[in-house]
Structure 1
Amino acid sequence: MPDPRVGPGQVLIEVWAAGVNPVDWKVMAGGLDGMMEAIFPVIPGWDVAGVVRAVGPDTPEFAIGDEVMSYARKDVVRAGTFAEYVAVSAWSVAHKPPALDWRQAGGLPLAGMTAQRTLERLEIGPRDLLLIHGASGGVGDLAVQIARDRGATVIGTASERNHAYLRERGAEPVAYGDGLVERVREVAPGGVTAVADFAGGQLDATLELLAPGGRHASVADPSVEQHGGHWVWVRPDGAKLAELAGMAEREALIVDVAGAYKLDEVGAAFDASREGHTRGKLIIEP
């Protein structure tokens, strides 16, 4: 493919790391065909960290050589981040903090901002007892840290092999699966004030465990809107990403990386993501 054109208000990023997210292979499988237009050939990838190599007209926020990161989703699925270069609107870009290495910066934007937006929609604060479904996954892990930074008490569902990991993050772990409601009740007899679902298929348990007046949101189940919940889709927003960069700088946010792949190994990265048991982010390194 030719190098991307750089229009007004855009920056050209040389890609040093691009995070893999489940939405990448779901898009490839046609899962968003009813929502987003795709123009072939499609280059997948919505996360990026790299170096600015060119700026378009009237883009004073950035300069050539800046180290940056972005949640680079566009309105049309075509020119993604699994590439050597990607052109991105400046409003979706943030400066990479020194506290994050390239792999961590490439894995933070989509997962971190999804967690951030979900907790903001739930208005999580110090008085909350928050249940997180899928707390050891890429989004859930970051949500635990953001919620704890907001002062909330967190209960997180995960397989038993990840319970010690969640305790290190400051969450009380419970095993998912049959009997989940009873296990959460042992920790929270009066129910929880909020639920963040990053796993899907948890609506019945969520509604049973919510205390009166409780709030809930899901990134995986749009049917929550029929039961008073929020279906969350994060928006590209450089200013919100900069907030997460600030958390990383003060060591309140850690991004775990599970593995890295080259461009000719994207299929293997998708296979690992589809298995659903990876703890930490998977990264493409062009």
Structure 2
Amino acid sequence: MKSVRFSSFGGPEVLEIVDLPDPHPGPGEVRIAVRAAGVNASDWKKRQGLMDPELPQTMGYEAAGIVDELGEGVTDVAVGDRVFGFQASGGAQAELTVLFCYAPIPPSLSFAEAAALPVAAETAARALDQLGVESGVTVLISGASGGIGSAAVQLAVARGARVIGTGSPAKHDFLRSLGAEPIAYGPGMPDRVRALAPEGVDLALDVAGSGVLPELIQLAGGPENVLTVADFAGSQQYGVRFSRGDGGRALYVLSQLSELVEAGRFTLPVGQTFPLSDVAEAHRVGESGSVRGKLVLLPG
């Protein structure tokens, strides 16, 4: 099968399409013929050598496709079913991949739309869980219009929370459509939050990593009420929790998405799709930040 791999760290040019042995599922896993695989910021961090030191590395942790092989004990799906989910070892950007966590694709979604969901939704759900977002609280989400941010907005609204979200003025209508009360980021942001919530907010989530943790701590009444998924250095400096997957992942969210999607309460736009062979261009586009919405590779 064809798969994305790199054998040295560097720019997008180190990415190559190689032939690798077909994978096979273990107990409780399924193999899919990949129809779409998500691209994430962690991909270019891996490629640059900022995450895992070993070489070579394959790429991708989320995919959607058609089940073509079942692992031992799998009874909840059948060969031929459309599913989406997570790949454990970073090999989802390939013609075939094994999913250890999966769910049926919501009927209204394409493969590309389904492949855009797992990483953003799991990261958002995990952060909301760790922060304690529930019905009746007011949560400020900094960086609310991106993939993880917009997922966090919608999942928080589904929990019954009031959401204030920062974004550029051009994205305020989009944030309103998700159920958030939008404000502009940048100088004066705390005053704009207090105009909506005079007593401040109960909780704050930093998705953007744009250096706003001191303001979020002030607005939320202390570092214990703030969590970041994007600013590890700032979390250490200011005593804010940093969300990471090794502390327990919110894999349950996959099974919740179908109901939310079909009810029109969850969406994550696909910004652009690329053939698998154009993975380097997908990285260039992603790193430039020029496209709003998820980038997705289409192997077949």
TM-score w.r.t. the length of structure 1 is 0.89
Residue 48, structure 1, aligned to residue 57, structure 2 = no
Structure that is richer in strand per residue? 1
- Asked whether the 8 Å contact 1:107–1:283 carries over to 2, the reply is yes
Which amino acid in the other structure matches residue 132 of structure 1? I
Distance in 2 (CA, whole Å) between partners of 1:199 and 1:213 is 17
| CA displacement at 1:238 relative to structure 2 | 4.9
Q: Deviations over 1:139-179 (max 9, x none)?
A: 11111111111111111111111111111222111111222
| CA displacement at 1:88 relative to structure 2 | 2.5
Residue 217, structure 1, aligned to residue 199, structure 2 = no
Overall identity of the aligned pairs, in %: 38
- Asked whether the 8 Å contact 2:121–2:253 carries over to 1, the reply is no
Per the alignment, do residues 81 and 207 of structure 1 end up closer, same or farther by CA in structure 2, a change over 3 Å counting? same
Decide which of 279, 287, 291 is 1:278's aligned counterpart: 291
Decide which of 214, 220, 227 is 1:204's aligned counterpart: 214
| CA displacement at 1:86 relative to structure 2 | 0.7
Which amino acid in the other structure matches residue 220 of structure 2? L
3-state SS, counterpart of residue 19 of structure 1: strand
Residue 125, structure 1, aligned to residue 134, structure 2 = yes
Residue pairs, 1:89-128, within 5 angstroms:
89=100, 92-128=101-137
Distance in 2 (CA, whole Å) between partners of 1:105 and 1:246 is 13
Decide which of 148, 154, 177 is 1:168's aligned counterpart: 177
Per the alignment, do residues 169 and 237 of structure 1 end up closer, same or farther by CA in structure 2, a change over 3 Å counting? closer
3-state SS, counterpart of residue 221 of structure 2: strand
- Asked whether the 8 Å contact 1:71–1:236 carries over to 2, the reply is no
Which amino acid in the other structure matches residue 242 of structure 2? W
Distance in 2 (CA, whole Å) between partners of 1:162 and 1:26 is 26
Q: What is the CA RMSD across the aligned residues, in angstroms?
A: 2.0
Indicate the residue corresponding to 1:2 in structure 2. Answer: 21
Distance in 1 (CA, whole Å) between partners of 2:221 and 2:250 is 33
Residue 83, structure 1, aligned to residue 94, structure 2 = yes
Per the alignment, do residues 8 and 163 of structure 1 end up closer, same or farther by CA in structure 2, a change over 3 Å counting? same
3-state SS, counterpart of residue 98 of structure 1: coil
TM-score w.r.t. the length of structure 2 is 0.85
| CA displacement at 1:99 relative to structure 2 | 2.7
Residue 19, structure 1, aligned to residue 42, structure 2 = no
3-state SS, counterpart of residue 81 of structure 1: coil
Distance in 1 (CA, whole Å) between partners of 2:103 and 2:249 is 11
Q: Deviations over 1:167-201 (max 9, x none)?
A: 12221111112222222222222111111111112
3-state SS, counterpart of residue 192 of structure 1: coil
3-state SS, counterpart of residue 291 of structure 2: coil
Q: Deviations over 1:35-55 (max 9, x none)?
A: xx6441x22111101111111
Which amino acid in the other structure matches residue 280 of structure 2? G
- Asked whether the 8 Å contact 1:94–1:238 carries over to 2, the reply is no
Residue 264, structure 1, aligned to residue 274, structure 2 = no
3-state SS, counterpart of residue 13 of structure 1: strand
| CA displacement at 1:232 relative to structure 2 | 1.3
Aligned length: 276
**Once structures 1 and 2 are overlaid, which stretch shifts more, 272-281 or 262-271?**
272-281
Decide which of 234, 255, 259 is 2:268's aligned counterpart: 255
Q: Which runs of 5+ in 2 are unaligned?
A: 1-19
- Asked whether the 8 Å contact 2:67–2:83 carries over to 1, the reply is yes
Distance in 1 (CA, whole Å) between partners of 2:113 and 2:222 is 39
3-state SS, counterpart of residue 254 of structure 1: coil
| CA displacement at 1:59 relative to structure 2 | 2.4
Per the alignment, do residues 218 and 277 of structure 1 end up closer, same or farther by CA in structure 2, a change over 3 Å counting? farther
- Asked whether the 8 Å contact 2:143–2:208 carries over to 1, the reply is yes
Per the alignment, do residues 240 and 53 of structure 1 end up closer, same or farther by CA in structure 2, a change over 3 Å counting? same
- Asked whether the 8 Å contact 2:217–2:223 carries over to 1, the reply is no
| CA displacement at 1:56 relative to structure 2 | 2.3
